[in-house]
Chains A and B, each alone.
Chain A
Amino acid sequence: MTAYIIKRLLTAIPVIIGLSVIVFLIMAMIPGDPALAILGSYATPENVERINRDLGLDRPLPEQYLIWITNLLQGDFGRSYILNRPVIDEVLERLGATMILAGTALVLCSIFGILAGVVSAVRQFGWTDRVVTFFVLIGISMPAFWLGLIFILLFAVQWRILPASGMYAVYGGGDLSDLIRHLILPAATLAIVATGVVARLTRAAMLEVLRQDFVRTARAKGLDERAVVYRHALRAALVSIIPVIGVQAGFVLGGSVYIETVFQWPGLGAMLVKAVSTRDLLLVQGGVLVAAALYVLVNLAADVAQAMLDPRLKS
């Protein structure tokens, strides 16, 4: 197992290098003078000269990349001229908030998605299945940003039971229960769409597996239905459900862009939206890169979990 984890870690290295190349190339697509684009209204002659020197913008692309990646490896993601602070500081400060929000949503959508999918498959065509399927479709079709607004209207404005925005109360907050109160609405909004996707795929995976020959073998042994469904079918279905959860991590991270904007959650997503509209390109670059690296790690964990479940993958 350790050998497998190390092997997977090693394969993640080229992926992360690839990510950095793609991010770098996207930034190189900037029309016009990159220095001016990066600096925007802060393009004083000395700033232009400084950024040209720091990033090697007057050199050929491969060389630029080398300078950039060397800086990156030393923790230098450049400077946000609009916020007037190093990109890395801003990104790291906001990373925690996003991880709390996206992590909670991911856990919620995995639990409810798998539960709903299994129940729906086991009771295929029964009324439970119909209800679950219908709600799953609603979840998938719901614009998350709109759902967030509805929640705010209902829970914060109408019933006044939960806060509408932020991560902590401005006065007197700051403890865990305060955080949880603030977390409920954004996490639920984010989780609902993702739950739909997980539930659908779980249902499909279960139905596929329940038809397999080895499930018939389990029946022929005289196992009761519960053992057949959970010990044999679900176990096999999990092998294909786990990568889906890995992918969901990406959707949740991406979805946090909307949710953080709607609920003014001080995370990476809200930062990115602001950075894009102010064209703070280095901040966008740093934020995207860090979020992508996080996503790669989550998928790595999903891969390892899958290999632990399925002995065929290790060989």
Chain B
Amino acid sequence: MSVAIAPEIRSTRLTSWQLLMTNRLAAAGLFVLVAILLLAALAPWLPLPNPNITDQPNRLHPPFSPGHLLGTDHLGRDILSRLLWGTRVSILVGLSATAIAAFFGSLIGLVAGYTGGRVDDVMMRLIDMLMAFPYILLALAIVAVLGPGLLNALYAIALVNIPFFARNIRGVTLSIRHREFVDAARLSGKGHTAVLFTEVLPNVLPVIVITMSTTVGWMILETAGLSFLGLGAQPPQADLGSMLGQGRAQLFTAPHVSMIPGLMIFALVMSINLLGDGVRDVLDPRLRSGALNRPMPVTSIEREREQPAERPGAALLEVDGLETGFRSGRSLTLAVKGVSFRLDRGECLGLIGESGSGKSVTALSLLGLVASPPGVIRNGAVYLGGRDVLAQSEQQIIAQRGARVAYVFQDPLTTLHPLYRVADQIAEAITAHNALGASEAHARAVALMETVGIRNARERASAYPHELSGGQRQRIGIAMALANDPDVIVADEPTTALDVTVQARILDLLRTLRRERGLALLLITHDFGVVAQVCDRVAVMKDGEIVEQGDTRAVLDAPRHDYTRRLIACVPELGQGRRFLDNVRPLFAPQRQETEA
């Protein structure tokens, strides 16, 4: 298992182990599994009767009989002894089948995924063919030809599981193959084989291990199944499945003969699965970081905040002392550290900062849209028309989303629902806040599409997002935001995913809409050029705080804060030419050794 542990986990191996142990089910699984493995491993040295010696007079003793703790079977053989020896066989067969399937399946998956093209096509067609058989039936056909027997059953089960590994590993390999470090390794002089096995494989290995740990239980079940049908282990050799199969004849007279091996299979597989799940949870970085947590409807908001619930005479939108952070375990890392700003009717405020400055988290906090867990709003108030949004009930907060404050997000391809027609998505925004008939909502949606400058809106209405260009998609996003005539639009990097020429047109649209509708706009961006074109005022964020705010022109012309000054100086501008680098060079001269830390 150590091979699979990623470097970032190696430094925290102790915590990985602790994490696994805090998962009570996984710990229980580990405990049961170790106990079973120990018993099975020690079987030859335990004081047990020979599992294969028959003793007709003492047949079908119930459990707890003297000398036979678990009773005897129909031939008078000791069940406990057979159980432990059978467990050894089942575990060995299951592990071998897993290893064989994992080896060949992964190899096929790696080669197909890495090579791509024709080779991939042919290999995957063959795998598809194998997968087109109902799982066990293919194994049956193989056993039919090779003849019953434990080894043949093992081969059959391994073979039918190869496609499963091949597919999984191919998928992962394919996604890694397109990562840039693979190309980089090629350019560093490595041949294809070396790249595949020294660059790609280390990244695929954890997936192979996880897949193995989740299939080994399944393999044990399936080999036991074939033995149960009489196609696996042949007498006198016994595994758990064949014990169960033979005991079935005495089901009504002596149920323990079949129930005990069944229980053992179940305990074995259950403990493996519990442990496998626990290991997967620990190894999967997304699970660890909480990236797979289900987000709540509204960000969790601390009840005890300092600000009053109402502030009469406040601006249209006023944010006071906002603190938002992300919880991990018991610690809370603040991304927004006491941010305050105001936005008046018809005004445009630019919130600018570099990555990690907390600007997007600020924007999402306004209506509790920060994914939570792990997000928490610890302090502060968001006054919308003088009333604190954060002090209101979940239902009230939801009712204001889209109605009073609407959002436009960065990448319209991922922010629009891929399976609904664009007009329906706009109409849905309308009907969320108005009791309106479907056809009327649709008509309004089309009208909104015209407003945001989509030509042939009537035809485009039935398009799906993937059928539109990036610019058109963002126009849909804007139309959706306009649907309920909100007081404020929060646009979070609305043009970052777009080409410059498209960006220019979208910015034009935003400016026109502001002028015509008197919208207040909160524009989140990293680009001073965008701020300069659209915003009346600008607030500069750094490390979760606003370091400077003021009129756009004043800030751009005469930045007061050092950080702002540096940031503006670092923006290359058309017309500066090579002078730009000469101008910024002195800024970094003294701290060149520290780099940008």
Query: What chain B residues lie within 8 Å of A15 (beta carbons)?
Result: 128-129, 132
Could you tell me the distance in whole angstroms from the C-beta of A284 to the nearest C-beta in chain B? 4
Indicate whether A220 sits within 8 Å of B144 (C-beta atoms), given known contacts A18-B125, A142-B266. no
- Inter-chain CA distance A118–B220, complex, in Å, is 29
Query: What chain A residues lie within 8 Å of B143 (beta carbons)?
Result: 276
**Residue in A153, A222, A251 whose CB lies within 8 Å of B398:** A222
B181 lies within 8 A of chain A by Cβ? no
Chain B interface SS verdict (over half): helix
User: Is the beta-carbon distance between B141 and A222 smaller than 8 angstroms?
Assistant: no
- Inter-chain CA distance A307–B419, complex, in Å, is 11
- Contacts between chains A and B (CB distance < 8 A), count: 244
Could you tell me the distance in whole angstroms from the C-beta of B294 to the nearest C-beta in chain A? 4
Indicate whether A216 sits within 8 Å of B229 (C-beta atoms), given known contacts A143-B224, A207-B292. no
B274 lies within 8 A of chain A by Cβ? yes
User: Is the beta-carbon distance between B132 and A295 smaller than 8 angstroms?
Assistant: yes
Could you tell me the distance in whole angstroms from the C-beta of B207 to the nearest C-beta in chain A? 15
- Inter-chain CA distance A30–B147, complex, in Å, is 9
Query: What chain B residues lie within 8 Å of A213 (beta carbons)?
Result: 409, 411, 414-415
User: Is the beta-carbon distance between B401 and A220 smaller than 8 angstroms?
Assistant: yes
Could you tell me the distance in whole angstroms from the C-beta of B430 to the nearest C-beta in chain A? 9
Could you tell me the distance in whole angstroms from the C-beta of B553 to the nearest C-beta in chain A? 31
Could you tell me the distance in whole angstroms from the C-beta of B119 to the nearest C-beta in chain A? 17
User: Is the beta-carbon distance between A272 and B25 smaller than 8 angstroms?
Assistant: no
The interface size of chain B toward A, counting residues with CB under 8 Å, comes to: 87
Could you tell me the distance in whole angstroms from the C-beta of A233 to the nearest C-beta in chain B? 9
Could you tell me the distance in whole angstroms from the C-beta of B178 to the nearest C-beta in chain A? 19
Query: What chain B residues lie within 8 Å of A284 (beta carbons)?
Result: 140-141, 144
- Inter-chain CA distance A125–B374, complex, in Å, is 14
- Inter-chain CA distance A253–B132, complex, in Å, is 12
How extensive is the interface on chain A, given as a class?
A: 35 or more
- Inter-chain CA distance A134–B244, complex, in Å, is 25
- Inter-chain CA distance A223–B480, complex, in Å, is 13
Could you tell me the distance in whole angstroms from the C-beta of B7 to the nearest C-beta in chain A? 26
- Inter-chain CA distance A257–B478, complex, in Å, is 57
Question: Which B117-158 residues sit within 8 Å CB-CB of chain A?
Answer: 125-126, 128-138, 140-148
Query: What chain B residues lie within 8 Å of A261 (beta carbons)?
Result: 229
**Residue in A122, A211, A221, A254 whose CB lies within 8 Å of B291:** A211
Could you tell me the distance in whole angstroms from the C-beta of A193 to the nearest C-beta in chain B? 9
**Residue in B141, B274, B297 whose CB lies within 8 Å of A26:** B141
User: Is the beta-carbon distance between A291 and B419 smaller than 8 angstroms?
Assistant: no
B248 lies within 8 A of chain A by Cβ? yes
Question: Which A134-189 residues sit within 8 Å CB-CB of chain B?
Answer: 134, 137-138, 140-146, 149-150, 152-153, 157
Query: What chain B residues lie within 8 Å of A121 (beta carbons)?
Result: 294
A302 lies within 8 A of chain B by Cβ? no
Could you tell me the distance in whole angstroms from the C-beta of A87 to the nearest C-beta in chain B? 13
Q: Identify 20 new A-B residue pairs, CB closer than 8 A, beyond the known A217-B407, A220-B407, A250-B133.
A: A21-B129, A26-B145, A141-B269, A141-B272, A143-B244, A149-B255, A157-B252, A214-B414, A217-B477, A222-B399, A222-B401, A250-B131, A253-B135, A273-B231, A277-B230, A284-B141, A288-B138, A288-B140, A292-B133, A311-B464
8 A-B pairs with CB atoms under 8 Å apart are A15-B132, A140-B273, A143-B228, A145-B244, A214-B416, A217-B409, A221-B480, A277-B231
A residues at B contact (CB < 8 Å): 14-15, 18-19, 21-23, 26-27, 29-30, 121-122, 124-125, 134, 137-138, 140-146, 149-150, 152-153, 157, 206-208, 210-225, 227-228, 232, 235-236, 239, 249-251, 253-255, 257-258, 261-262, 272-273, 275-277, 279, 281, 284-285, 287-288, 291-292, 295-296, 299, 309-312, 315
Nearest 4 CB-CB pairings of A with B: A146-B262, A254-B136, A222-B402, A253-B134
